[in-house]
Amino acid sequence: MVTTLTPTSTHTWENVFSTASGAVYQCDAENCWYIDFVGKVAGFNYRCLQKLKKAIYHIDIEAKLLDTSKDPDVEIIFICACDHTYILTLLQVIALKELLQGTFVMLELNSILHDKLYRTAC
């Protein structure tokens, strides 16, 4: 499912993290995240986002950079039971990793804030 940046529903998207190459938004009403990257906006639920993170983090960027073979410099990110596939160059992989790293730091910070402000505040 590829969605456009202007959702037809009235659901609000909150920006979680953005870089020059993309952005991640959270939709509380749908309990999911939207990733705006390489010209498409794709929705991910919790499981799929975790799988995407694992797939991207497991790419050995250093080994790819040192690889002098004539193979195309392209990574196909296919996530099982998820509607989206990314076909990325190495630079795009680096950019997506940066985007996801920032996103997960922000989500962790959000969790800490929830703990401090609401759950354990008395």
Which residues form the interface with other proteins (CB under 8 A)? 14, 16, 26, 28, 31-33, 46-47, 50, 107-108, 110-111, 114
CA distance 13 to 115: 22
Beta carbon of residue 31, minimum distance to other proteins (angstroms, whole number): 6
CA distance 8 to 27: 13
CA distance 52 to 85: 10
Between residues 14 and 83, which has the closer beta carbon with respect to other proteins? 14
Between residues 49 and 96, which has the closer beta carbon with respect to other proteins? 49
Between residues 14 and 67, which has the closer beta carbon with respect to other proteins? 14
Residue 19's alpha-carbon distances to 16, 46, 85, 102, 113, in angstroms, are 11, 21, 21, 9, 22
Beta carbon of residue 16, minimum distance to other proteins (angstroms, whole number): 8
Beta carbon of residue 14, minimum distance to other proteins (angstroms, whole number): 5
Beta carbon of residue 119, minimum distance to other proteins (angstroms, whole number): 9
Closest Cα partner for 38 from 66, 65, 8, 75? Answer: 75
